[in-house]
Amino acid sequence: QDLKLKYYQLLIELADQESNYLATCKHYKAIYETPIITEDKEKKHQALKHVVLFLVLAPFDNEQSDLLHRVKEDKTLEEIPLYKIDLSLNSFELEVCMQQTLCLKIADKKDIQTDNIRINTKRTQLSQSSQTIMTILIAPIANNIRVMAKYYTRISMTRMAQLLNLTVEESEHFLSELVVSKTVFARIDRPSGIVTFSSNKSPNEILNEWSHNLTTLMQLLNRTTHLITKEEMVHKMVQ
């Protein structure tokens, strides 16, 4: 087990140098699941804190989302409420609030500055890394832009900056980075100051969407007609 811990500590250092937060999270999860760590309550909590911290810092993708749902089922999170991932909110509230609330609380409590990121205290403390601290503070921005792309088709740059609590220039900078990394699709019309998140659709996609919407509309009309007819029959019987 000692060799296993040493092995994962080396992997963590390597992942830290590459700023690969998802890999760091998975390495800490392997440490967290090691019997020698689970038997020590303090080390167990410390390892789980780092699992959650690096998980919310990791860029969103299918693997991160899957790991998020698996980690939130861990009962040990009840013992460290600050790091508990709440999935009881609706999807919009969850995606907007989860990273922002958790990251800001952690930064506000200065856990990243007072906790030893390493289980082995002889190793360098990652909490002293300004890059990691900066990532913790800006992580919610990328998350919130991704949520906007999911729920908006068009939005003005002014409104977007207001929602992100940034300047228009800063909002454009972060949005451009996400577009380059292909995290979101967006086009900025600078003269009109409008951001468009929806991509161009092929004629087949437009036709399929129209057909689906028409089918849904007809189902609603049929149900409404049925309910009206039912009410009329009930009133006739009463009379």
Interstrand relation of 154-156 and 187-189 (parallel, antiparallel or unpaired): unpaired
The pLDDT value given to residue 234: 87
DSSP string, 159-218: HHHHHHTS-HHHHHHHHHHHHHTTSS--EEETTTTEEE-PPPPPHHHHHHHHHHHHHHHH
Q: What is the DSSP letter of 59?
A: P
The pLDDT value given to residue 41: 87
CA torsion sign for 80, 109, 87, 180 is negative
Residue 132 CB neighbour total at 10 angstroms: 20
Burial 56-65 (b: 16+ CB within 10 A, else e): bbbbbeeebe
The pLDDT value given to residue 111: 45
CA 226 – CA 236 distance, rounded (Å): 16
- In the Cβ-directed half-sphere of 130, how many Cα atoms lie within 13 Å? 0
CB 167 within 8 A of CB 161: yes
Q: Specify the DSSP element, H or E, that contains 5.
A: helix 2-17
For the chain (239 residues), the mean pLDDT of every run of 10, in chain order, is: 88 85 90 89 87 80 82 83 55 44 50 38 39 62 82 90 86 88 86 86 86 93 94 83
- Would you kindly state where each structural domain of the chain is located, as residue ranges? 1-94, 129-209
Supply angle C-alpha 121, 122, 128, rounded to 5.
70
Q: Is 225 exposed, middle or buried (0-12, 13-18, 19+ CB in 10 A)?
A: exposed
CA torsion sign for 104, 105, 107, 112 is negative
The architecture that CATH gives domain 129-209 is: Orthogonal Bundle (1.10)
CA 114 – CA 143 distance, rounded (Å): 26
The pLDDT value given to residue 85: 60
Supply angle C-alpha 53, 138, 89, rounded to 5.
60
